[in-house]
Chains A and B, each alone.
Chain A
Amino acid sequence: MSNWHEMVSQQDQVCLILALLGILLSGFVALLPAKLRPPALIVLVLVALSPGLIR
């Protein structure tokens, strides 16, 4: 909490990227054949989780 304002503005960029990624990647999943969609979603989830888990 050293500089609240700086933290928030950085957070704004990160959150925008995450939200756009969510919309885009789920759009790509929708383009896959029906059978491939659930495993593709699970792989996406693991990739999205990896930075948090590594930290």
Chain B
Amino acid sequence: MRDRWWLILLAAALAMQARLAFSTEPLWYDEAFSVLAARLPLAKLWQVCAADVHPPLYYLLLKPFLALPLRMEVAARLPSLVATWGAMALLWTVLGRLGLGNNRKWALLLTAWMPSVLNFSGEARMYAMVMLCFVGAVWAVWEGHWWLAGVLGAAMAWMQSAALAYVAALVLLAWVRLDLRRAAGLGAVAGILYLPWLPEAVRQAGALRAHWIWWNGPGTVAYMLYRAIFYKMALDSVISPLAMMVLAGMGFWGALRTRREILIAAYGPPAVMAAASMLSGHGLLLHRGVLPSVPFIAATWLPILRRRDVGRVLQGMLAIFLALGAVKFAGGKGDARYADIMEAIRQNRVDAIVGVNSAVLPLRLYVPNLPIYVVPGLGDILSDSAATNLGLHIGYPPEGRVLFVDFELISASRLERAVAEWLRNCGQEIPVSAKDFASQTTTLWLLDWRPGTIPSLRNSAAGWRPNCGENCAKSHGSSSTD
């Protein structure tokens, strides 16, 4: 009877993942970056990745999927679904090897319903693939195939820079499970395979943007772990304090009763990322980067969830949390909505689009015929060279009707505030409900762009600080550039 319920709930989770991956929801900024990068020839892709924060392997793997006769959104999200299902299948074996016994059923079910796993199974980004590689690498270590674990570790690092922390965790795992010699071999295989990207990685680390500084302390680590699991939960602002407390309590007391190999897989990589963040002052621990640890974190909860006294209460609470996560995803991922922008373009004569690059990059896919400009100094996430390679123009548009997409990604920056003020004086606001990120708002301004407006924008720009927020000057002095 219990087995039947388990099977039904697992099938429902897989169906939910498929529903998100096969959704025709438009791609948001990160996903648009993936598709635009995957369309580039290899040499240009290398350049764009070197100017961004991740290596190119994921975009290369995405290429053949984009050639499939499917809608662009579906084709781009398909690899993540395949990777998530692959990871689920492998987890069955891996959790068994890790000694979870009958508990592996529940660890697998929890993982399949985790809001973060649901979200990234339908996201055109590398996170699900990195999870598949990590689960595979843990299996390889267990079977004594240290070289295979090294290859998979290198593949992870070639997809996502933060996955270097996972290579460190794999070396530790191999040391604990096998011996120091084979652990060193694993590290050497991963290191040699990663070597071609190393110079670029060093350059990337040196060029980390000032506005990436958000490292504040251990509370951020706790919050990132919470977000790594309960991503975009419905009623999040009401439930999150409770969820944080329950997860911290369960995590701590569960960890005391969990074998160290599971603890290394669950908390080793976040600990390495947190240590690297503390040492460098940059936020190198991001909830998405910890996705491969999620199944193992779930495994650490099981000793507590199966207790006779409080197990039932905690199971009930966890079921409510997961249901709230699922409720949020029942309507789709809800990351992006450009219908109003397209409508504004249809209804008005628009000669060019101008804006912050994180707002306008997805429009390269949805209005490919309109030229898109980023005012020099207004770019936020992409470097100028990467933006140019992805088809944006860095500069001022020629005279004509211009649609300015104002997107409050880093609204702390003086530059953006000054632009917003300037737009309010000379533009015509178009009310929209467009969004590209869960928490940001977009405003559209239609304006007549004449040669006269350019000097006035330049004059105001002369007094602006680099686009990295108020803290930029505090933490980096005036030498900081963006």
Known: A1-B408, A8-B216. A18 touches B241 (CB 8 A): yes
How long is the Cα–Cα vector from A4 to B124 in the complex, in angstroms? Answer: 26
Contact pattern, B 250-264, Cβ under 8 Å of A = 1, otherwise 0: 101100000000000
B400 lies within 8 A of chain A by Cβ: no
Known: A16-B217, A18-B245, A23-B249. A52 touches B237 (CB 8 A): yes
Chain A residues near B275 (CB-CB < 8 A): none
Task: Name which of B45-53, B140-148, B151-159, B306-314 contacts chain A.
Answer: B306-314
B248/A22 in contact, CB under 8 A: yes
How long is the Cα–Cα vector from A29 to B449 in the complex, in angstroms? Answer: 66
A37/B309 in contact, CB under 8 A: yes
Q: How many Å from the CB of B301 to the closest CB on chain A?
A: 12
Known: A1-B408, A14-B219, A26-B250. A41 touches B239 (CB 8 A): no
Chain B residues near A25 (CB-CB < 8 A): 245, 249
CB-CB nearest in chain B for A23: B252
B317 lies within 8 A of chain A by Cβ: yes
Known: A22-B247, A23-B252. A51 touches B220 (CB 8 A): no
Chain A residues near B246 (CB-CB < 8 A): 22, 45
Q: How many Å from the CB of B116 to the closest CB on chain A?
A: 17
Q: How many Å from the CB of A34 to the closest CB on chain B?
A: 5
How long is the Cα–Cα vector from A55 to B246 in the complex, in angstroms? Answer: 20
B238/A19 in contact, CB under 8 A: no
Known: A12-B220, A15-B219, A27-B253. A22 touches B313 (CB 8 A): no
How many residues in B have their beta carbons less than 8 Å from beta carbons of A?
A: 41
B223/A48 in contact, CB under 8 A: no
A31 lies within 8 A of chain B by Cβ: no
Partner of B216, one of A9, A26, A27, A37: A9
Q: How many A-B residue pairs have CB under 8 A?
A: 114
B92 lies within 8 A of chain A by Cβ: no
Chain A residues near B70 (CB-CB < 8 A): none
Partner of A17, one of B214, B219, B249, B410: B219
Segment 372-392 of B: residues with Cβ below 8 Å from A? none
Q: How many Å from the CB of B235 to the closest CB on chain A?
A: 8
B471/A11 in contact, CB under 8 A: no
B226 lies within 8 A of chain A by Cβ: yes
B57 lies within 8 A of chain A by Cβ: no
Partner of A21, one of B238, B245, B310, B412: B245
B317/A45 in contact, CB under 8 A: yes
Q: How many Å from the CB of B189 to the closest CB on chain A?
A: 37
How long is the Cα–Cα vector from A12 to B274 in the complex, in angstroms? Answer: 13
A23/B248 in contact, CB under 8 A: yes
Contact pattern, A 17-55, Cβ under 8 Å of B = 1, otherwise 0: 111111101110110001001100110010011011101
B222 lies within 8 A of chain A by Cβ: yes
A26/B252 in contact, CB under 8 A: yes
CB-CB nearest in chain B for A11: B223
B469 lies within 8 A of chain A by Cβ: yes
CB-CB nearest in chain A for B227: A15
Partner of B244, one of A4, A15, A30: A15
A1/B222 in contact, CB under 8 A: no
How long is the Cα–Cα vector from A20 to B440 in the complex, in angstroms? Answer: 30
A5/B238 in contact, CB under 8 A: no
Chain B residues near A53 (CB-CB < 8 A): 238
A55/B217 in contact, CB under 8 A: no
Interface centre among B220, B239, B439 (most CB of A within 10 A): B220
A22/B245 in contact, CB under 8 A: yes
How long is the Cα–Cα vector from A8 to B313 in the complex, in angstroms? Answer: 32
Chain B residues near A29 (CB-CB < 8 A): 310
How long is the Cα–Cα vector from A49 to B242 in the complex, in angstroms? Answer: 6
A30/B314 in contact, CB under 8 A: no
Chain A residues near B310 (CB-CB < 8 A): 29, 37-38, 41
B421 lies within 8 A of chain A by Cβ: no
Chain A residues near B216 (CB-CB < 8 A): 8-9, 11-12
B313/A42 in contact, CB under 8 A: yes
**Given A8-B214, A21-B245, A48-B242, 15 extra CB contacts under 8 A:** A1-B439, A2-B411, A2-B412, A5-B471, A8-B216, A16-B218, A18-B241, A19-B244, A19-B248, A37-B309, A38-B313, A48-B241, A48-B245, A49-B241, A52-B240
| Chain A interface (Cβ < 8 Å from any Cβ of B) | 1-5, 8-9, 11-23, 25-27, 29-30, 34, 37-38, 41-42, 45, 48-49, 51-53, 55
17 A-B residue pairs with CB within 8 Å: A2-B412, A5-B412, A8-B214, A12-B217, A15-B223, A17-B219, A18-B222, A18-B244, A19-B218, A19-B245, A22-B246, A22-B247, A26-B249, A27-B249, A30-B253, A38-B312, A52-B240
